[in-house]
Amino acid sequence: MIIVADSSALVALAVCNGLHLLDALYQQVRVPRAVFEECVIAGKPAAEKLLAYLSDKTVDVDLSGLVITANGLGAGELQAMALYKHLNAQHLLIDDQRAKKVASLNAIKAIGSLGLLLRAKEKGLIAAIKPYAMIIQQANLYLSDVVVTEALRLAGE
């Protein structure tokens, strides 16, 4: 199985030390060049960790000839959606709600960082998602209280 990832969810997983879960749940993790560049900006949370993790997972993406409505999305999100289609991936890892809506309109199966943690718990890879979610929230990465509460409810926590 292949997952293509966007920067916000990758940063969230890196901050809570959950990147290894991507490798445990998927055979391949891929990111477009624009996402890589967004993740490794100096001063960005977990930039060095992401530089090391993504070094062999980055793919150049050509957007010409693709029709995906931008709807205010960034280059990383658009390239991630295009790469998902090109690789026929199983999931797009993305946290931005607007991007998830555009993904859905383009028949792309999106999963957020908390959804990935929930899958990891269901597979027995982690005991609980709450510690990870709390670290992400404490790092001031945007996860709404509503989304966290729902994820914890689904996890039975």
Q: How far apart are CA 117 and CA 130, in angstroms?
A: 9
Task: Give me 107's structure tokens.
Answer: 């028949």
Q: Are 90 and 108 in contact (CB under 8 A)?
A: no
Q: List the domains of the chain with CATH numbers.
A: 2-113 (3.40.50.1010)
pLDDT above 90 for 9? yes
**What is the helix, strand, coil percentage profile of the chain, to 5?**
50, 10, 40
48 class by beta-carbon count within 10 Å (0-12 exposed, 13-18 middle, 19+ buried): exposed
Residue written as token pair 């150049």: 60
127: pLDDT confidence band, cut at 50, 70 and 90? very high
What burial letters (b/e) apply to 106-140, b meaning 16+ CB within 10 Å?
bebebbbbbbbbbbbbeeeebeebeebbeebbeee
Which residue type occupies 148? V
Is the distance from CB of 118 to CB of 132 less than 8 angstroms? no
For residue 70 the two structure tokens come to 């931008």
CA distance 89 to 30: 9
Mean pLDDT across the chain: 91
* pLDDT tens readout for residues 31-53: 999 999 999 998 888 999 999 99
**pLDDT tens digit sequence for 60-89:** 987 655 555 566 778 889 899 989 999 999
How large is the average pLDDT for residues 124-131? 97
- Candidates 37, 32, 27, 35; CA nearest to 2 is 27
**pLDDT value at position 64?**
58
